[in-house]
Structure 1
């Protein structure tokens, strides 16, 4: 029986090669019937069969100089909303594992994250036209001197950067002051301004395992599924927090990462760091 085709999902990859967890997460969406597009800045050599590849320039130019001064994920915070506006697809980070298909009947897919009540944007869908989208894109395209939610210490820190490294772009200075100021901080703030914060799903829907416990994905004795609920759709694997040992070695037999690779059809030994 063929898997029904569902709403499209998409992500961005900056670099030339995926790691096995990225392959696993992309294929997990394909398996559930989501047309899955990976926008790429380079010729990626190991995109799994079934994932559609498009140039990132279909959505926007990626300034690799800014990426080098910040992180590979930095400009993805701008990219995801421009992508949603242009294509109406669901944004997925490349380390978001699809546990169950996303519903077809909602334009609001995002959730709280962790222990502090902030929203995350690792998996996100908002209306392509609307106040929240307009405010997010205006923020990125017309950066203020400082984000409106910053406190005195953050203002002091960016002021020191203005004096110490005036040659840096304003976007890079914001990043070096607060790493998540383009990502979860901005999304949480503007969703609060528009009232969309109240539309957030529970953490168990998209981020059932807390970031602080990301090693459980590699432990054969951990019951990862014990964190899941009947509402869980996606499981964030937090590759940015993964210890180098797990990126350079195949996951241990019986661990969640190994079991899912086996189930979906990914050979970790062929895509190590």
Structure 2
């Protein structure tokens, strides 16, 4: 395959990909995007063509912090450090490539879900920009509380810190799971004015995350959410019900059809 489009990259913590992650990574290759997957472990089942590199090339991964939060937690800072260092487009491992990313998209991000807050599952930014600087400063110099939090959220974090032996970062995460992801990205894009650059949700997140079961429904009309502008389709694996991750998708569902189209065997990479 000819890989002559803008590079994309992601992070994986663990030794094995699940079939939906294999599907999404390979989909970018088939559209001409070189794919780099930064890993913390000796990954056993990356699709052919995916370049596997040590995550330490971008930043050290604090596994204790990962264990106190989630496997995806540190991706929230990793993505911006990766973009700043390499210029690649960040893709979550559950972002399916519907069409190639245009080469001239220097800024790539969009709102998602029913409320329209920004998501950071697919992101491209200039390697040097104020938004990048503010995001990295937030992660490198955590405030006592995120600036956008209300009194209830602050009290919630205080209770968590009193009850549990957690780092400051982990306590923020336990109080608000998205405080390092969409919440932070939305807030700082508002502060810099770059929120005006946001694409509409149909470009990167056409299906609202509240409806992600539709990807596994053989009678669902996933493509009914797509428009001519749709480039990426987020599958929201963090919110997927365990049954869908541990069983092959039903015939004619979007997940099954895309696996067949891309050439992924779901039965070979189910969640254990």
Q: Which runs of 5+ in 2 are unaligned?
A: none
SS of the equivalent of 1:72 reads coil
Shift of 1:243: 1.0
Match of 2:113 in 1: 114
Instruction: Normalising by structure 2, report the TM-score.
Output: 0.98
Match runs of 1:29-44 below 5 Å: 29-44=28-43
Match of 2:197 in 1: 199
* Pairing 1:177–2:175 present: yes
Shift of 1:241: 1.1
Instruction: Please give the alpha-carbon distance, in whole angstroms, between the structure 2 residues aligned to 1:4 and 1:54.
Output: 18
Shift of 1:98: 0.2
* Pairing 1:101–2:100 present: yes
Contact 2:37 2:52 in 1 (8 A): yes
Match runs of 1:129-144 below 5 Å: 129-144=128-143
C-alpha deviations, 1:38-90, integer Å up to 9, x for none?
A: 00000111001010100000000101111111001110000000000000000
Match of 1:84 in 2: 83
SS of the equivalent of 1:128 reads coil
Instruction: Please give the alpha-carbon distance, in whole angstroms, between the structure 2 residues aligned to 1:160 and 1:252.
Output: 44
Match of 1:161 in 2: 160
SS of the equivalent of 1:82 reads helix
SS of the equivalent of 1:79 reads helix
SS of the equivalent of 2:228 reads coil
Q: Which runs of 5+ in 1 are unaligned?
A: none
State the superposition RMSD in angstroms. Answer: 0.9
Shift of 1:106: 2.0
Contact 2:58 2:82 in 1 (8 A): yes
* Pairing 1:52–2:51 present: yes
C-alpha deviations, 1:210-238, integer Å up to 9, x for none?
A: 11111111111111111100000000001
How many equivalent pairs are there?
A: 271
Instruction: Please give the alpha-carbon distance, in whole angstroms, between the structure 2 residues aligned to 1:255 and 1:144.
Output: 44
SS of the equivalent of 2:243 reads helix
Instruction: Normalising by structure 1, report the TM-score.
Output: 0.98
Match of 2:235 in 1: 237
Shift of 1:194: 0.2
